[in-house]
Amino acid sequence: MKNPFSLLRKNVGVDLGTANSLVYLSGRGIVINEPTTVAVNNKTGKVVAVGTEAKNMLGRTPLHITVVRPLLGGVISDFEMAQEMLRQFLRQLANNGPFNYYQNAVIGVPSDLTEVERKSVEDAILGAGVSKAYVIESAVAAALGARLPVTEPVANMIIDIGGGTTEVAIISMGGAVTIKSVKVAGDKFNEDIIKFVKDEFHLAIGEPTAEELKIELGSAVVLSDKLEMLVRGRDLATGLPKEILLKDAHIRSAIGKSLKVIVDAIKDVVEVSPPELVGDLLQRGIHLCGGGSLLRGIDDLISKELAATVTVVDDPLTCVARGTGLAVENLEEYSQILDNPLKPREIKL
Ligand SMILES: Nc1ncnc2c1ncn2[C@@H]1O[C@H](COP(=O)(O)OP(=O)(O)OP(=O)(O)O)[C@@H](O)[C@H]1O
Ligand SMILES: [Mg+2]
């Protein structure tokens, strides 16, 4: 007799990001979208909370609980924590159902992972109760999620500006033909803002304030409407709380250098790509995704610097997860893309 659970078994697509992790469940869509955060009890080594619940504990925990981010710059820096977080997410979805509740999983991985790192991602998902794991280059998943014709012999450029990394990829025939990844993205913008406020105003602000400033005032080009926000921090000279008024121009100068790193990475990829692919790109346009693509005017900046049409995809924060979902719902159609991504050309610059 067939395994009575086999009809109930589900497929999942997973985007394990530096800032946010998403799970797509077959037949349902994106069912988990939470920060990549884990709270752990140092005394017992046990995970006490994951995702939003863990992030909400930041700064409010007793001494024996630490809140950690198990990914750094797009790669797993704390394997056990990452695996436990995935396990808890998948278990929540399965309502604590049978261990082999999940049939197949497709998980996005950065294209520059080593074989060992890739295996560790696969092991993490297998350990979370999935029978078979496939990996997909996250740039390819992003292109799928953006509904670009990834398996056709035309070139598409997709730029994923996430929390830890910006990946600039040219995709053709199901793989990344050229790819460059820089560890400059949303997290770095926040660091830049903290440093700017410290250097220019002698004020110490925390990461959540920097994130708020980036979202409320941040822009890559001069805006027609001026924006400003009152910010509270600790005066570095007196040690006392102080309030200052920050404007969009301040945030633009804080993140300017990092934006240049991203623009230069895009130019590098275009420069080393075969001329016929570059022709495709200029004709087909450049697509932006990832949370960083929500920065005001980043599309205009890239468009001006590259002299190409630039579009931010719909719902850029879920693009990779939707791509892994499409892949897991159509495993046969995309079998060429999965498990065996084309080796991207190394670009040493
Ligand atoms: N409106 C916004 N403006 C600017 N940045 C934003 C906005 N909304 C979200 N972000 C930034 O987007 C980043 C998260 O994006 P995303 O979820 O795509 O990253 P990730 O996939 O977790 O990271 P990575 O792909 O690098 O592993 C964070 O740094 C966040 O601050
Ligand atoms: Mg990402």
Which residues have CB under 8 Å from 69's CB, separation 6+? 18, 36, 37, 38
Global confidence as pTM: 0.93
| CATH 3.30.420.40, the chain: domain bounds | 6-142+321-329, 149-312
- Residue 297 scores a pLDDT above 60: yes
- Return the residue whose CA atom lies nearest to atom 4 of ligand 1: 295
Q: Taking residues 284-307, report their average pLDDT.
A: 97
Q: Taking residues 40-65, report their average pLDDT.
A: 90
- pLDDT of amino acid 343: 41
- Tell me which fold the domain 149-312 belongs to: Nucleotidyltransferase; domain 5 (3.30.420)
- Residue 95 scores a pLDDT above 80: no
- pLDDT of amino acid 163: 96
Q: Give, for ligand 1, the residue of 214, 217, 288 to mutate: max count of ligand atoms closer than 8 Å to Cβ.
A: 214
Q: What is the largest CA-CA distance in the chain?
A: 76
In tens, the pLDDT along 113-163 reads 788 888 888 888 888 888 899 999 999 999 999 999 988 889 999 999 999
- pLDDT of amino acid 99: 56
In tens, the pLDDT along 16-38 reads 999 999 999 999 999 999 999 99
In tens, the pLDDT along 238-256 reads 999 999 999 999 999 999 9
How much distance in Å is there from the Cα of 1 to the middle of ligand 2? 42
Pocket lining: 191 vs ligand 1, CB cutoff 6 Å: no
Q: CB within 5 A of ion ligand 2: which residues?
A: 17, 162
How much distance in Å is there from the Cα of 316 to the middle of ligand 1? 9
Do the annotations mark residue 84 as ligand-binding? no
What CATH number was assigned to the domain covering residues 6-142+321-329?
Answer: 3.30.420.40
- pLDDT of amino acid 339: 66
Atom of ligand 1 nearest to the CA of 71: 27
Pocket lining: 162 vs ligand 1, CB cutoff 6 Å: yes
In tens, the pLDDT along 226-239 reads 999 999 999 999 99
Do the annotations mark residue 206 as ligand-binding? no
